[in-house]
Amino acid sequence: MESKVVDENEEGPVVPMRVDRFGFVKQEHGPTEGLARSRSAFEYQRDERRIRKWRKMIGVGGSDWKQYVRRKPHVVKRRIRKGIPDCLRGLVWQLISGSRDLLLLNPGVYEQLIIYETSASELDIIRDISRTFPSHVFFQQRHGPGQRSLYNVLKAYSVFDRDVGYVQGMGFVAGLLLLYMSEEDAFWLLVALLKGAVHTPMEGMYLVGLPLVQQYLFQFDHLVKEHMPKLGEHFAQEMINPSMYASQWFITVFSYSFPFHLALRIWDVFLFEGVKVVFKVGLALLKYCHDDLVKLPFEKLIHALRNFPEDAMNPDILLPMAFSIKASPLSLSLSLPSPLLPCD
Amino acid sequence: MARRADEEYDYLFKIVLIGDSGVGKSNLLSRFTRNEFCLESKSTIGVEFATRTLKVEGRIIKSQIWDTAGQERYRAITSAYYRGALGALLVYDVTKPISFENVSRWLKELRDHADSNIVIMLIGNKTDLKHLRAVATEDAQSYAEREGLSFIETSALEATNVEKAFQMNLSEIYRIISKKSLSSENPAPANIKEGNTLVVGAEEINTKKACCSAS
């Protein structure tokens, strides 16, 4: 990925820090690694063209969006799958998730939640604030603006929906949103996701018993067997089940430990098309590494499933692969046998 | 498939790390398995896994350690990992009394979900934060005695007693297993029938090893 070095001269008295283009502090590697690869004139022009097209599609402040989606849903879907331009991401996410409508319908509600309500989860949230995207400049500073807004959004949600409250993992979702929009916008997008403004509500992923996580893991297990029988068989033999590697994929929608540029591309599609893409990306990762994975014994398997090679995480390779996977409606409609059999 | 030299071991023990969120479980694990400590660690979502092979009482023991998310709601996922575990490291934070008060709830969790003969060690972590200490060593010590747990205080940051804590737990497991295999017909902990663990008692080593490498 392209990345740039923060110009040390512009940093003034602050200790210079090397961050990537998304604001994550870079590991101290050799001096050559990760140095800015200047974008070619061709790439630059292509990006400019894309942004112009997107602006036209959205209209001023999103005014033309709904009409465009109604008229040309396939064009929208195709463009979103190619990636929303970063400078428009925050706005488009709010449009496709339905959160913009929620915000407009509920003026003043967020402020009310922040100022007047108290939450039983406050201490839990505080405990995790500094452990959420700790390597991002926005969230690094103790009690800085990033940590404060993360706290506010999570606290507001825990009050708004006391059944869900606060669950570890929500911080990564909220944190990712806060890098692209204001606190209040991020809050309503969280509401749109968990309450299901457009797609299946996500709240079951965080409710007591984590029922939706268990269901998704169960379905994912079936999909692996269906799409990659040999790997499925190998997993069964080595006693590997999806809860060992995929819980985070679902709970944080790939925002916990995947390269950020990939997470963003997945989020573009996730917000427009729903949770199906999480299954598909998961399957694509396994498919990409299939021939290696089927040879590995238990421990190495677990390691490999948590450390995919860099080339597997290239969105321009992984996503087309994910889109080509046809997750059968049958597998996706499977529900857990009752009583719940976690993990088996 | 031939097993490589670095994978040879006499025993394979499964251990779980449990305790409230934020007490330092993941850093205890990284200190023990990689001698690393991360000041900027992320909260654990779900479960993490690491192994280390070391010599205990003259035997080569491989420990497979499952590190679990501490938040109560995650028990829906993590409690499945207690099954078949031979050891549990129950961690609290010496600067957070509530994490010590919750130890009894974690013990109940283990009683409900783990094998009854699991070897439990109580660990008071973060002793480096001397000026913030809020749980007295004696209180934890006497609690551990009452409950029949072994006890140690550690600092994952300063690498104090971390090695020792794991060593103690592993040797206790080893002693119990070797004693049992001498004195009883059917000594292994009842875990072979548990589907998703790789834990083995003394007798199952050879067959299990063969099975693991036959991929």
Per-residue pLDDT at B212 exceeds 60: no
pLDDT score of B42 = 94
Per-residue pLDDT at A262 exceeds 80: yes
Chain pair A-B, CB pairs under 8 angstroms: 95
Cα separation of A125 and A132, whole Å? 10
Which of B14, B196, B22 has the alpha carbon at shortest distance from B99?
B22
Nearest neighbour of A213 by CB, restricted to B77, B81, B196:
B77
pLDDT score of A251 = 97
Nearest neighbour of B76 by CB, restricted to A210, A234, A239:
A210
Cα separation of A86 and A68, whole Å? 20
Q: What pTM does this model have? A: 0.88
As to burial, measured by CB atoms within 10 angstroms (0-12 exposed, 13-18 middle, 19+ buried), residue A338 is exposed
Cα separation of B34 and A250, whole Å? 28
What is the tens place of the pLDDT at every residue in A188-235? 999 999 999 999 999 999 999 999 999 999 999 999 999 999 999 999
Per-residue pLDDT at A334 exceeds 70: no
Sheet holding B11-19, edge to edge: B47-56, B59-68, B11-19, B87-93, B119-125, B150-153
Per-residue pLDDT at B199 exceeds 50: no
Which residue is associated with the tokens 């190495």?
A300
Per-residue pLDDT at A304 exceeds 90: yes
Cβ contact A209–B195 (<8 Å): no
What is the tens place of the pLDDT at every residue in A231-253? 999 999 999 999 999 999 999 99
Cβ contact B77–A342 (<8 Å): yes
Nearest neighbour of B22 by CB, restricted to A127, A213, A257:
A127
Residue A342: pLDDT band by 50, 70, 90 thresholds? very low
pLDDT score of B43 = 95
Cβ contact A237–B215 (<8 Å): yes
pLDDT score of B191 = 41
Averaged pLDDT, A152-163:
97
pLDDT score of A6 = 43
Which tops the pLDDT comparison, A331 or B153? B153
Give the torsion sign (CA, A138, A139, A140, A142): positive
Q: Which residues pair with B14 in a beta bridge?
A: B64
Averaged pLDDT, B83-92:
97
Per-residue pLDDT at B185 exceeds 90: no
As to burial, measured by CB atoms within 10 angstroms (0-12 exposed, 13-18 middle, 19+ buried), residue A67 is exposed
Per-residue pLDDT at B213 exceeds 60: no
Query: What pairing do the DSSP bridges indicate for beta strands B59-68 and B47-56?
Result: antiparallel
Q: Does A232 touch chain B (CB under 8 A)?
A: no
What is the tens place of the pLDDT at every residue in B48-77? 999 999 999 899 999 999 999 999 999 999
pLDDT score of A288 = 97
What is the tens place of the pLDDT at every residue in B137-146? 999 999 999 9
